[in-house]
Chain A
Amino acid sequence: MTRDDVAAVLIDELGRIAPETDASRLDPNAELRDELDIDSMDFLNLVTALSERLKIDIPETDYPRLATFDHAVDYLVQRLGVAA
């Protein structure tokens, strides 16, 4: 899985949570919570979906590292051990 694949998975899952927004046109450096108006339940659902789909653990203490789109992709890539 490449970095682009990881980004595609993230876009797909964000699209499920905020279906009315085009996740592929997000500002990659903006806070996802603000950008997509997601609450803690949405965020937990996102983490649940990502961890199940990518088969990685995402501890709660790492949540801050998923704050923006770019940071989230960096983090997931690192957890997966994908060469960037």
Chain B
Amino acid sequence: MGEFRMPSLGADMDAGTLVEWLKQPGDRVKRGDIVAVVETQKGAIEVDIFEEGVIERWLVEPGTTVPVGTPLALIAGAQPATAAVSAEVPATVAPTPAPPAPPSVIPPFAPRTEVGRLRVSPAARRLAAERGVGLDQLTGSGPGGAILYTDIERAAAGAAPRPAAPKRLDFAEMRRAIAAAMARSKREIPHYYLSTTIELTRSLAWLQETNATRPPAQRLLLAALLLKAVALALGEAPELNGFFTAEGFQPGAGIHIGTAIAIRGGGLVAPAIRDADKLSLEELMAQLRDLVARARSGALRSSELSDPTITVTNLGERSVETVFGVIYPPQVALVGFGMPVERPWAVSGEVIARRVLTATLAADHRASDGHRGALFLADIDHKLQSPETL
């Protein structure tokens, strides 16, 4: 018997609210299936499962907020050892001191209501508000006539579809979460910083030529080339790809690049592009597009937030030349790309105008040293000089 638990989606998360079950007791699940939706400081996240088995029963009902690690469901036929999260997520990434355990651990299944009032779970109430479903006209199918999430869905499906309201993120919560993770990073990680200037002429010319024959939907951005160059260079620099835990440095099981995406209105998330070293530029670009869209609409998956083995930020894209990164624990490195700018550049004794970009590395001295970091940055540069090989 295994347990499906509230996942930790990064060092900055200590609790989450179960919004919805997407599988029912009796359903067979396999690794990668999306089982539930959880509300966190990073918006609503789809939680996928890392084991196989049959859902025996739920332990937590929608609308309940529980600490990270709380069992959410029992999975029959699963190995207990694999019940937590993916192997790449160190179990020791204990979120900052756990919050006080909620009374009796798990509130019993019952929509939180009062006698004489409508019995509606918070998740259902929220969905009703989003979909414009009036609660008064509904007959609930839950215990004691409680209105369930599925009742709202059914009612909404019958009603004229309304465009989905933009996801409302709690920016104050997100800021608090970022603050906690960054404070831990600055407190615990002995950062070292390196910087290099990369000439972009070849990469930009190759991009222009490639994009000239493509419709906009298939065009590539420079970001795709940068991510691929980082992914390939990481193959030679395993000390920069992974996690630092109580047991020391653990190399990542793959190259999963957390891509920093700014959220309109403030805050950011850095979901993973998994196995980025194995993706073609087209696949990488498609994933990047998809991730940006879902990050901004609040529809990321739990594994995307817990998987990254390194983070890349393109923060400087159009405003600053140099990024001085703060590592996102328990990762051990962050690569920052600044804005491409035209600068005087010396080639064979001549000074000419060239487009260049500053690439920086912030890395954890407990896992690597500057020599390794320097080779890594030089390798990224080298790869961007042969864009056709990326």
The segment from B21-29, B81-89, B214-222 found at the interface with A is B214-222
Whether A20 lies near B264 (C-beta < 8 A) is yes
CA distance A68 to B374 in the complex (A): 41
- Nearest chain B residue, comparing its CB with the CB of A60: B211
A-facing residues in B15-60 (Cβ within 8 Å): none
Whether B265 lies near A40 (C-beta < 8 A) is no
B162 touches A (CB below 8 Å):
no
**Residue among B211, B262, B317 making CB contact with A40, cutoff 8 Å:** B317
Whether B215 lies near A60 (C-beta < 8 A) is no
Query: How many residues on the B side are at the interface (Cβ–Cβ under 8 A)?
Result: 20
B100 touches A (CB below 8 Å):
no
- Nearest chain A residue, comparing its CB with the CB of B207: A60
B79 touches A (CB below 8 Å):
no
Q: A39 and B318 in contact (CB under 8 A), knowing A51-B215, A59-B212?
A: yes
B-facing residues in A43-63 (Cβ within 8 Å): 44-45, 47-48, 51-52, 57-61
For residue A47, give the distance in angstroms from its CB to the closest CB of chain B. Answer: 5
CA distance A45 to B151 in the complex (A): 36
CA distance A16 to B371 in the complex (A): 46
CA distance A59 to B215 in the complex (A): 8
**Residue among A19, A33, A47 making CB contact with B318, cutoff 8 Å:** A33
Contact with A along B223-249 (1 / 0, CB 8 A): 100000000000000000000000000
B-facing residues in A2-51 (Cβ within 8 Å): 18-20, 33, 37, 39-41, 44-45, 47-48, 51
Whether A41 lies near B264 (C-beta < 8 A) is no
CA distance A44 to B208 in the complex (A): 14
B103 touches A (CB below 8 Å):
no
B288 touches A (CB below 8 Å):
yes
- Nearest chain B residue, comparing its CB with the CB of A37: B264
CA distance A83 to B217 in the complex (A): 28
CA distance A19 to B293 in the complex (A): 13
Whether A58 lies near B216 (C-beta < 8 A) is yes
Contact with A along B154-174 (1 / 0, CB 8 A): 000000000000100000000
B278 touches A (CB below 8 Å):
no
Chain A residues, Cβ within 8 Å of B166: 19-20
B175 touches A (CB below 8 Å):
no
For residue B213, give the distance in angstroms from its CB to the closest CB of chain A. Answer: 10
**Residue among A40, A51, A52, A61 making CB contact with B222, cutoff 8 Å:** A40
**Residue among B208, B265, B289 making CB contact with A60, cutoff 8 Å:** B208
CA distance A57 to B212 in the complex (A): 11
Chain A residues, Cβ within 8 Å of B216: 44, 47-48, 51-52, 58
Whether A52 lies near B211 (C-beta < 8 A) is no
Whether A41 lies near B212 (C-beta < 8 A) is no
Whether B217 lies near A60 (C-beta < 8 A) is no
Chain A residues, Cβ within 8 Å of B75: none
CA distance A18 to B296 in the complex (A): 10
CA distance A48 to B264 in the complex (A): 20
Whether A40 lies near B215 (C-beta < 8 A) is no
Chain A residues, Cβ within 8 Å of B318: 33, 39-40
CA distance A33 to B318 in the complex (A): 9
- Nearest chain A residue, comparing its CB with the CB of B293: A45
Q: A41 and B221 in contact (CB under 8 A), knowing A60-B211, A60-B212?
A: yes
Whether A60 lies near B317 (C-beta < 8 A) is no
A residues touching B (Cβ–Cβ < 8 Å)?
18-20, 33, 37, 39-41, 44-45, 47-48, 51-52, 57-61
* Besides A45-B293, A48-B215, A48-B216, 19 other A-B contacts (C-beta < 8 A): A19-B264, A20-B166, A37-B264, A39-B262, A39-B317, A40-B221, A40-B317, A41-B223, A41-B288, A41-B289, A44-B216, A51-B216, A52-B217, A57-B215, A58-B216, A60-B211, A60-B212, A60-B219, A61-B212
21 contacts between A and B (CB under 8 A): A20-B166, A20-B265, A33-B318, A39-B262, A39-B317, A40-B222, A40-B317, A41-B223, A41-B288, A44-B219, A48-B217, A51-B215, A51-B216, A52-B216, A52-B217, A58-B216, A59-B212, A60-B211, A60-B219, A61-B208, A61-B212
